[in-house]
């Protein structure tokens, strides 16, 4: 029966809590690629976050999704309303009748895997960091770890975007009975086009969400250290998010108003053009798209040696600095600014690596291959 299913177009529903950042970029690329290959795709996403950008992105892809785009109020933290929301999930999926239930991130992944498996269906989970970012010795970390363990063997396929995420899951949660596969995030052919640096570019650029885990505050501290040492370093800060006001207060407290330019939300490539050197200061990351996108475009870049970022850089790890350490970041920035030719040569070598290992087509095919394996391995019983 499984072979019959996978020989035909699949009905695939992707679910995610917040339609923002790299996670929604991954889902939209994957959904487009799967639709291109004749599958019927649906998407469930939170209606409380994302704002106008999410509305526009989902409206753009909606005509391609045969199973539609559906918005539900999915709160980030556990809430008493989750029980009713889960029932709405179940009713919606009952109408959509998917063959593949693919949950992205902790909460959407939990909602889908709490459903019993129907015959000839599979439940798929991609954590995207999610609950794995919480330390197990914290209250939140303990809660999410217990939830992950409870759902671990209600999952026919785990798809991790990095070996780091896979290994972290096994260390923190356990070893699943279901299939486990790693499929790297990928970028399209157009993202290998070179980027022309803007005339008003700063020395440094940051592009990403303003969340604690992304480390923009660490980069601001590093800029303050460099300027305190007599280097007139400037920074273009592209992004927005929950830490926006805190970052603005930090810039003011360090008297960096003339050195740091706030760009607001920008498209990644536009943000890259606003600096001569991209810095990715993350405290934690699994497989960040901003690194892959910048590398594909040949942008000179420094990044924290954390999460799955070393898997992207491969043999070019000399461009990575110790995480959560503004002094180490400042030293790496100074060295790169002092030798721009070496930074550019490294960027060109990294671009070739991305071309070989991180294509969007390979990502889509890898995910579909995982689905096929999971169908072949799954039993026809209604659930466990």
| Confidence class for position 2, pLDDT limits 50, 70, 90 | very low
Q: How high is the pLDDT of residue 3?
A: 45
C-alpha triplet 290, 162, 111: angle, nearest 5°: 95
Q: Are 163 and 184 in contact (CB under 8 A)?
A: no
Find the largest Cα–Cα distance for the chain.
Answer: 70
Contact 134, 156 (CB under 8 A): no
Instruction: Tell which CATH architecture fits domain 2-186+360-377.
Output: 3-Layer(aba) Sandwich (3.40)
pLDDT at 379: 60
Rounded CA-CA distance 186/281 in Å is 21
pLDDT bracket for residue 5 (50, 70, 90): low
- Looking at residue 383, what is its pLDDT? 46
pLDDT at position 145 is 86
Instruction: Find the mean pLDDT for residues 326-335.
Output: 98
The answer to whether 2-186+360-377 and 189-357 have equal CATH topology is yes
Give the pLDDT confidence score for residue 4 in this predicted structure.
52
Hey, what are 312's tokens? 């992207």
Q: Which residue has the tokens 């391609």?
A: 64
- Across 65-72, average pLDDT: 98
Q: Please state, in angstroms and rounded to a whole number, the distance separating the CA atoms of residues 309 and 162.
A: 9
Q: What is the mean pLDDT of residues 81-107?
A: 96
Give the predicted TM-score (pTM) of the model: 0.84
3.40.1280.10, 3.40.50.2000, 3.65.10.10, 3.10.129.10: CATH of 189-357: 3.40.50.2000
Q: Where are the domains of the chain?
A: 2-186+360-377, 189-357
Check whether 380 has a pLDDT greater than 80.
Answer: no
pLDDT tens, residue by residue, 243-266:
999 999 999 999 999 999 999 999
**Which whole number is the average pLDDT over 323-327?**
97
Give pLDDT tens digits for 17-48: 999 888 999 999 999 999 999 999 999 999 99
Q: Report, as an integer, the average pLDDT of 299-323.
A: 95
Mean pLDDT for the chain overall: 93
Q: pLDDT tens for residues 263-283?
A: 999 999 999 999 999 999 999
Q: pLDDT-based confidence at 126, cuts 50/70/90? A: very high
Q: Is the pLDDT of residue 85 over 70?
A: yes
| Whole-number Cα distances in Å, 235 to 75, 78, 127, 267, 347 | 34, 37, 32, 17, 20
């Amino acid at each position: 029966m499984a072979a019959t299913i996978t020989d035909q177009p699949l009905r695939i529903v992707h679910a995610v809590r917040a339609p923002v950042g790299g996670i929604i970029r991954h889902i939209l690329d994957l959904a487009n690629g799967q639709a291109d290959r004749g599958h019927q795709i649906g998407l469930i996403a939170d209606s409380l976050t994302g704002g106008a950008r999410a509305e526009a992105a989902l409206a753009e892809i909606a005509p391609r999704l045969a199973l539609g785009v559906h918005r539900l109020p999915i709160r980030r933290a556990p809430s008493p309303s989750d029980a009713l929301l889960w029932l709405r999930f179940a009713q919606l999926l009952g109408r959509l009748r998917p063959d593949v239930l693919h949950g992205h991130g902790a909460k959407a992944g939990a909602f889908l895997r709490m459903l019993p498996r129907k015959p000839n269906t599979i439940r798929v989970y991609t954590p995207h960091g999610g609950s794995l970012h919480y330390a197990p010795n914290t209250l939140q970390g303990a809660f999410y770890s217990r939830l992950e363990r409870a759902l671990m063997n209600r999952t026919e396929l785990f798809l991790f975007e990095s070996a780091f995420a896979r290994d972290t899951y096994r260390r923190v949660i356990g070893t699943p009975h279901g299939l486990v596969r790693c499929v790297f995030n990928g970028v399209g052919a157009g993202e290998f086009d070179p980027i022309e640096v803007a005339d008003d570019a700063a020395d440094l650029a940051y592009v990403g969400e303003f969340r604690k885990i992304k480390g923009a505050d660490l980069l601001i501290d590093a800029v303050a250290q460099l300027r305190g040492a007599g280097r007139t370093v400037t920074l273009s800060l592209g992004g927005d998010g929950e830490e926006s006001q805190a970052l603005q207060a930090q810039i003011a407290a360090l008297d960096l108003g003339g050195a740091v330019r706030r760009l607001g939300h920008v498209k990644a490539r536009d943000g890259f053009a606003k600096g001569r050197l991209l810095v990715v200061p993350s405290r934690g990351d699994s497989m960040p798209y901003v690194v892959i996108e910048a590398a594909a475009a040949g942008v000179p870049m420094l990044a924290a040696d954390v999460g799955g970022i070393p898997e992207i850089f491969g043999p070019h790890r000399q461009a990575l600095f110790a995480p959560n350490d503004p002094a180490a970041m400042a030293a790496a920035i100074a060295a790169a600014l002092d030798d721009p030719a070496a930074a550019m040569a490294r960027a060109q070598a990294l671009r070739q690596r991305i071309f070989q290992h991180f294509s969007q087509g390979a990502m889509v095919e890898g995910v579909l291959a995982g689905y096929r394996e999971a169908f072949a391995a799954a039993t026809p019983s209604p659930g466990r």
